[in-house]
Amino acid sequence: MPDVTKTVDTAVEDAVAPPSAAEPAKGAGPAKEKARSLWGDAWADLRRNPYFLVSSVLILILLIITAFPGWFTSASATKGDLVHHYLGQPELGKIGSEGWLGYDGQGRSVYSRLIHGTRASVIVGICVTAIVTLVGGIMGMLAGYFGGVIDALLSRLTDIFFGIPFLLGAMVVLQSFTERTVWVVVFALAFLGWTQIARVMRGAVITVKQADYVHAAKALGAGTGRILLRHILPNAMAPVIVVATIALGGYISAEATLSYLGLGLSAPTISWGVDISAGVQQIRTAQHILLYPSIMLSLTVLAFIMLGEAVRNALDPKLR
């Protein structure tokens, strides 16, 4: 008995195959080079984009710091010596390498806290982005593909969550927890952050499901799951990837904002937002406590925004 699944996929590919994919006629010249796909064109453009190269290097460094902070500093980020109380850069000749960016009010190395604080900020950004992309992608795909009552219900649910101010809603959610760890902050941000992905995915699916290859798959008896996963999802992911990449930097910034306001991460968790909040109190006497975490936060957010812009330019045929 023939494999029905393979037969349907082969028929769909034959039905939508461009004329250039057919075998050359007898006596014709040599076959032209096979046309690249959207993803192939995008990768070729990205490799020549300086924004992509610079942002990729910065993000790679951040990921290495997140995974192996001990490679960059051996000093403790939680234990200090009051001898170094608010000791800054003017005392460079009297302190070791771990204090080249100065010390905070408890005599802890600012450089060490900068390195160890990378983990919390990056983990929050990546985890929130993964969750909102999964939840929002599924809801947007179901709403866009099935339409009708399902689309109306999911769209109205999305509108309700979209109407809640993001940071204000996250504050309310975080207030209900007595202990605000990294995963609690991830939950609070993901709980309200999936709406934009859902809208983008819904619009992309509505456009893709009108394509000829989707109609051909339905006519040949392909199931709903196979159509969604094999034909619609790969062709609707481009705008979602762009939005998610840009939003990742926003989630890192949101975590720092909540920690600065005292509603996000708190001691003993090490975070850039926590250090920025502590640095504001000594902005006149010890500016280095505020300055360096702010620079790291800005560079991180800028790196992900640059990456998102580069990906958007590469995946948008109109811009190419």
Indicate if the pLDDT at residue 17 is higher than 60: no
| pLDDT grade for 95, boundaries at 50, 70 and 90 | very low
Give how far the C-alpha of residue 283 lies from the chain's centroid of Cα atoms, to the nearest Å: 32
The mean pLDDT of 94-123, rounded to a whole number, is: 73
**Domain assignment of residue 188, yes or no:** yes
pLDDT at 132: 92
Contact 108, 77 (CB under 8 A): yes
pLDDT value at residue 127: 92
Q: How far apart are the first and last CA of the chain?
A: 47
Does 244 score more than 50 pLDDT? yes
Please, what is the average pLDDT of the chain?
A: 76
| Residue-level pLDDT at 130 | 92
Domain-embedded: residue 32: no
132 lies in some domain: yes
pLDDT of residue 23: 46
pLDDT at 279: 72
Q: What is the pLDDT of residues 110-144, one digit of tens each?
A: 788 888 888 888 888 899 999 999 998 888 888 88
With tokens 């109190």, the residue in question is: 281
- Sign of the Cα torsion 121, 125, 126, 132 reads positive
- Does residue 11 form part of some domain? no
Residue 112 lies in a domain: no
CATH number at residue 127: 1.10.3720.10
Tens digits of residue pLDDT in 183-205:
888 888 988 888 888 888 888 88
Q: Is residue 4 part of a domain?
A: no
If phi over 0 gives left and psi between -120 and 50 gives alpha, with beta otherwise, what is residue 86? left
- The reported pLDDT for the residue numbered 205 is 87
Query: In this predicted model, which residue has the larger pLDDT, 62 or 214?
Result: 62
Average pLDDT over residues 35-59: 74
Question: How confident is the model at residue 30, as a pLDDT?
Answer: 47
Extract the tokens encoding 49.
Answer: 């984009």
| Per-residue model confidence as pLDDT tens digits over 246-294 | 888 888 888 888 888 888 877 777 888 888 877 777 666 667 777 888 8
pTM listed for this prediction: 0.77
Whether 108 is in a domain gets the answer: no
Domain count, the chain: 1
In this structure, is residue 193 part of a structural domain?
A: yes
Q: How confident is the model over 226-242, as pLDDT tens digits?
A: 888 888 888 788 888 88
What does the alpha-carbon distance between residue 53 and residue 48 come to, in Å, rounded to a whole number? 8
Are the CB atoms for 272 and 297 separated by under 8 Å?
yes
Closest by Cα among 119, 109, 117, 120 to 76: 109
141-184 pLDDT, tens digit each? 888 888 888 888 988 888 888 888 888 888 888 888 877 888 88
Task: Calculate mean pLDDT across residues 8-15.
Answer: 47
pLDDT value of position 134:
92
Residue 11: band (very low, low, confident or very high) from pLDDT cuts 50, 70, 90: very low
Residue-number span of the structural domain to which 234 is assigned: 58-66+117-315
In angstroms, rounded to a whole number, what is the distance separating the alpha carbons of residues 236 and 240? 7
